[in-house]
Amino acid sequence: MTNQNFLDRLARGPILCDGAMGTQLYARQRSPLGGGASLESSFEVLNLTRPELVSDVHRAYLAAGAEIIESNTFGANRFKLAERSLAHQVAEINAAGVRLARQAVESAGRTAFVAGSIGPLGVRLAPTGPLSTEEAHAAFQEQITALAEARADVLILETFGDLDEIQQAIRAAQAACDLPIIAQMTFTLDGRTSLGHTPDVIARSLSEMGVAVIGANCSVGPARVLPVIEAMRAALGDPSGPPYFSAQPNAGWPESAGGRIMYPATPEYLGDYARRFVVAGAILVGGCCGTTPDHIRAMRLTLNALALAPGRPTRVAIAMQAPPYGEEKPLPPEPPTELAKNWPRASLSLASR
């Protein structure tokens, strides 16, 4: 595919991304079948050590009707990988992540885009942290170059809480390749980033950088993400082309039950919010922490219903398939992300993270 293919697809109507990767890998460990990923391991190194596990997740999301499959590379930058003594394998791990996603798409027998996933570096940038902008730029460019050379169709920068950091990532991407960029921030309970930026400031700042899509992911669940998207759209008006808007929330507010963290939002709930996101102006919808192929399947049903509604001839409906391995069984509760663990603290002090 070419870059224009992705932009042309956005212009045709709402597109569905996949859901969680890390929590799905971990959940498979706790399933009766076992064989999943340990929390002590790097999820990204599974691209090399357990590729079939990563491929299973990709195939499940494709069967659920996703049109964008994210590579398992969210934390595959030199700083995050160094925590597991894997910094020397940045290029190899990222290339393998794209390859596994591409193979899953090709085996699905229909069109879908492979998005190279890029998350924060895990080290604060100066002046609040030790990392210089030059070091950040080099780390992002290293990862992005590997993703581009492995033939990702688009780049997805996600779960950023620091506007300066995501801007460095965008600059690195633009220096490394010409792939379209999806830029997503994460927001706390009061609708701001962890450093206090409001949705309108984020939208205007990222729009000026020429990215294809601006939006929110992770955060505190669909009900809190919706007003963020509405505020972004209000700040930029109703553009006829890029930047478009995106929404990929967690499966609700993480709750503690019996000593475990659970995500309470049902597939039906996410399916309803897929419609609300589209009405609010989002062109790209999907899921983040705690979401499953069942959540994505429910969102697919919603988008298909919108596509078949009268007066929407340019919208796109995608057929769903049976789950790859028979009926999907409910999986045990999934672990919280670091962001989820810190929500109470973040809601009390925007500067605490």
- State the total domains in the chain: 1
- pLDDT value of position 26: 85
Confidence check: pLDDT of 345 > 70: no
Amino acid at 200: D
User: Does residue 252 contact residue 261 with C-beta atoms inside 8 Å?
Assistant: no
- pLDDT value of position 27: 81
Structural domain span for residue 189: 3-352
The pair of three-digit structure tokens given for residue 28, joined into one six-digit string: 């498979």
- pLDDT value of position 239: 64
Q: Helix 90-108 crosses helix 51-63 at what angle (to 10 degrees)? A: 40
Which of these ranges, 203-212, 290-299, 309-318, has the smallest mean pLDDT?
A: 309-318
Confidence check: pLDDT of 326 > 50: no
Confidence of residue 252 (pLDDT cuts 50, 70, 90): confident
DSSP-derived pairing of the beta strands 255-257 and 260-262? antiparallel
Confidence of residue 29 (pLDDT cuts 50, 70, 90): low
| Interacting residues of 4 by C-beta distance below 8 A, sequence separation 6+ | none
DSSP-derived pairing of the beta strands 181-185 and 282-285? unpaired
**Over the chain, what is the mean pLDDT?**
87
- pLDDT value of position 33: 52
Confidence check: pLDDT of 158 > 70: yes
Residue 9 belongs to a domain with what CATH number?
3.20.20.330
Percentage with pLDDT > 70 across the chain: 82
Q: Residue for token digits 């899921």?
A: 287
